[in-house]
Structure 1
């Protein structure tokens, strides 16, 4: 996976990070997540990020955290790589995953949105551009085929098979209709190989609570 001039190196990752807690929406390194931003606090967040490195952390709420607004401890930071303003005052953005993080500390609100001190060290390898060999892809594709047939999901198979292994695994983790807990397990899988194996298990056992219709594009 080739990097580009805009991809940060480890030493450039921010010391503080705005977070967007959203259930069922995850981001992974090199994956992409489109978002429709309309709440004033999150409009503030995006506008601030555009002027300060374009980084936002996606993280899922955690009802078990013991607080009304508890969050999981691991999320993934993404860089705003595309944005459009709408006539009705929304922002349509595309986040491209950069590196996962652990929440070290939550800071005071800024202009209505939440911020944390991220600890990047555990996931430093997320920035590695090397493409590891993955024997897990073929069993994953077999399980995915069965899962999609049983769920009625429409899939662009040629597009999937053209992806390199890590991008394929992360694309599936982001876009398949798994539940919040399953999504979090995929975020926390340390390596792409572990994530591919977990995806295979989830597909085989239908652990997502399938929705009929929809598709992967």
Structure 2
């Protein structure tokens, strides 16, 4: 476990709507855009090897063209898996280290985006796995079965049944077809318990034919 003082103040940012990374979880990525290929090459030259995954906020129609604005909170992952295809694309794995809050974007010569970030407030992310003492696995799995059936999704139910609470909740948060706004809410949940409660709310609304806008009201 690293102390927050050991984490860099400035990191490369990979804005990817719908892609969620959480602490102690792993996110596979397929990189092919030239500016992000350069970002990976630069990342591998650093000791931290961190990349900040973050959601974007849609620009209003009157704003015109330009880079989308970033959400306030993202999650940094350490580059732990890397392979290159014959046509020059990268298959990589990021292992979640800690969430961060964006202080400001950094202008510079790199074609990819970078930001100064603040790690304070997320010290728990670098500890051991969280537990959910009140987790009703049987009830949750029943709800999940109904949700997957309604969405015509398949999964390895045996593996889900054996996974510990954190791996189960975080993996589903990352993999389920929630909207970017919903995934941002899951990312910002302060504890595993609140993340599970948020997910249950999202699933229940989806089963009732509800929308993210209704949840926010």
Q: Which has the larger radius of gyration?
A: 2
Query: Is 1:26 paired with 2:25?
Result: no
Contact 2:23 2:99 in 1 (8 A): yes
**Alpha carbons of structure 1 residues 86 and 137: separation in structure 2 relative to 1, 3 Å:** farther
SS in 1 for 2:70: coil
Task: Give the superposition deviation at 1:41.
Answer: 0.9
Cα contact 2:129–2:166 (8 A) shared by 1: no
Q: Which residue of 1 aligns with 2:173?
A: 173
Measured after TM superposition, the shift of residue 36 of structure 1 is 0.9
Match of 1:163 in 2: 163
**2:31 counterpart of 1:37:** yes
Tell me the equivalent position of 1:214. Answer: none
Q: Deviations over 1:102-150 (max 9, x none)?
A: 1011101442011111111111111111532332352432321110121
Q: CA deviation at 1:96?
A: 1.0
How far residue 60 of structure 1 moved from its aligned partner, in angstroms, is: 0.8
Q: 2:136 and 2:166 mapped to 1: Cα distance?
A: 9
Between the aligned partners of 1:145 and 1:200, the Cα distance in structure 2 is: 12
Q: Which sections of structure 2, spanning at least 5 residues, go unmatched?
A: 210-217
Preserved contact between residue 59 and residue 68 of structure 2 (Cα < 8 Å): no
Q: Structure 1: give runs of 5+ residues left out of the alignment.
A: 1-6, 210-217
Provide the C-alpha distance between the structure 2 equivalents of 1:76 and 1:110, rounded to a whole number of angstroms: 24
Q: What is the TM-score normalised by the length of structure 2?
A: 0.87
Q: What pairs up with 1:20-99 in 2 under 5 angstroms?
A: 20-52=14-46, 53-63=48-58, 68-99=67-98
Runs of 4+ in 1 over 4 A off after TM superposition: 64-68
Counterpart position of 1:201: 201
Answer with 40-49 or 130-139: which moved more. Answer: 130-139
Which whole-Å CA distance do the structure 1 matches of 2:40 and 2:108 have between them?
14
Q: Deviations over 1:89-112 (max 9, x none)?
A: 111101111100110111014420
CA RMSD of aligned residues (A): 1.9
Cα distance change on mapping 1:161 and 1:9 into 2, 3 Å: farther
Deviates more, 1:101-110 or 1:61-70: 61-70
Contact 1:99 1:120 (8 Å CA) reproduced: yes
**1:78 & 1:13 partners in 2: Cα distance?**
12
Say which is worse superposed, 188-197 or 154-163, in terms of deviation: 154-163
